[in-house]
Amino acid sequence: MTAPALARAHAFDDRPVLACAPLKPGHAREDLSRVGDPSWNLGPAVFRENARRCHVTVYFDVLEDADVQAMMRAYLYARLNVDLPGHRPKLPPSCVRQAFNRARRFFGFVRERLGALDLARIDPPLIDAYARHLREDPARRPVIVGQLLEVVIDFYLYREHLPGGGLSFEPWDGRPPARVAGYRHVPENRTPRIPEPIIAPLLAWSLRYITVFAGDILAARRELSRLEARRDRLFVAEQGLPHAERRRRQRQRLARYFRSRARQGRGVPVWASPPNGSASVDPVSGELLPVVNVQLLHLHVGVDAAREPAMHLALAGGASDLIAAAIADIGIEPGGMDTPISAGHGGTALMPNPSSWKSACCRQRLMWSAPI
């Protein structure tokens, strides 16, 4: 790479990822993620309180090849910051994960066929092959195929906004990706309307989540955000330490957490209803055994199992012994977060069917076990 080209690459890498997006109060644009960073945090421009951190963070180290990483950075930067009237609006930061996954699928196909990700070598037969490849899966509906093909058109539309240029030809001669995918016409939905006795209670309970439960839900979300921020600080502070030392500190924090729970008369947090059917059955009684909310424990002790699966507390050498001892000592508690349910929100009087254990479990899990 020549000196001018190298300078241009450095200048591009130093740009803030969110060059013009509105930011939440308390965030300065100069403190935002830069294009060349190992990961992008788009949270400062996401105003949805229930947006998960993993949905608004881009980790480029999951892409093995340097050319794919570079192209992904250029593509996502263009989508986030360039408005193409009549074609593509700016990508909302909350949708970055979807755009990342669709582009990654296309990049993988091109690299497999060409041996490298080189847009200049992509030709009409190659993108036709990609469309056929997507259509060959009988489980993939044409509407989904059309959505996946949009990324191919993006590399033509954004050709003037990508550092290395884009496609030199218009894919499929301008035909909409839905037509290329085989999507023709969907007849009018003739499904009978939901009967009034069913839709009326459903609508009433939907409104209750706004008029009655919203305060509790948002408070729980704020608590979760604080726990995630603390976990991230601990993760960064201890990332360079030896594995054994990190595990020792995590176990110390977990022991302190259980002692604090004991003083409060509270138990080890468990899921109110087993996630993904993961519960085990007691061979003697036949009852479902409680599933410990390890995700919540991770937040308290500084483990990011998504980025470091080997540090999961339930693995051998983790903290299963501490968890088992705590269960024997202080018992269990559904959920486990500290945000209280407002007076009158947790009783069966608010349940549509007091005998419905499933409704009660879902209510508890929402309030006390916000998604991790």
Asked if the structure places residue 185 within a domain, the reply is no
**pLDDT 10s digits, 245-298:** 999 999 999 999 999 999 999 999 998 877 766 666 667 777 777 889 999 999
Provide the pLDDT for residue 127.
96
Do 222 and 337 fall within a single domain?
Answer: yes
How many percent of the chain have pLDDT more than 90? Answer: 56
The string of DSSP codes covering 258-318 is HHHHHHTT--EEE-SS-GGG---B-TTT-PBPP-B-HHHHHHHHT--TTT-GGG-TTSTTS
Do 46 and 97 fall within a single domain?
Answer: yes
Say if residues 167 and 128 touch (Cβ distance below 8 Å). no
Average pLDDT estimate for 114-134: 94
Asked if the structure places residue 203 within a domain, the reply is no
**pLDDT 10s digits, 15-71:** 888 888 888 888 888 888 899 999 999 988 888 777 777 788 999 999 989 999 999
Do 242 and 161 fall within a single domain?
Answer: no
Provide the pLDDT for residue 354.
30
Q: Which residue, 180, 199, 222, sits at the end of a domain?
A: 180
Do 129 and 242 fall within a single domain?
Answer: no
Question: Over 80: is that where the pLDDT of 11 sits?
Answer: no
Provide the pLDDT for residue 7.
45
In the chain the first and final C-alpha atoms are separated, in Å, by 44
Asked if the structure places residue 200 within a domain, the reply is no
Asked if the structure places residue 188 within a domain, the reply is no
Question: Over 80: is that where the pLDDT of 106 sits?
Answer: yes
Do 172 and 248 fall within a single domain?
Answer: no
Domain around 49 = 3-180
From the list 207, 216, 205, the residue with the least C-alpha distance to 359 is 205
Q: For residue 98, give the amino acid letter.
A: Q
Do 256 and 116 fall within a single domain?
Answer: no
Provide the pLDDT for residue 6.
45
**pLDDT 10s digits, 307-338:** 888 899 988 889 999 999 999 999 999 888 89
Task: List all residues 6 or more positions away from 368 whose beta carbon is below 8 Å from its beta carbon.
Answer: 220, 272, 334, 335, 336, 337, 339, 341
Do 345 and 243 fall within a single domain?
Answer: yes
Do 145 and 40 fall within a single domain?
Answer: yes
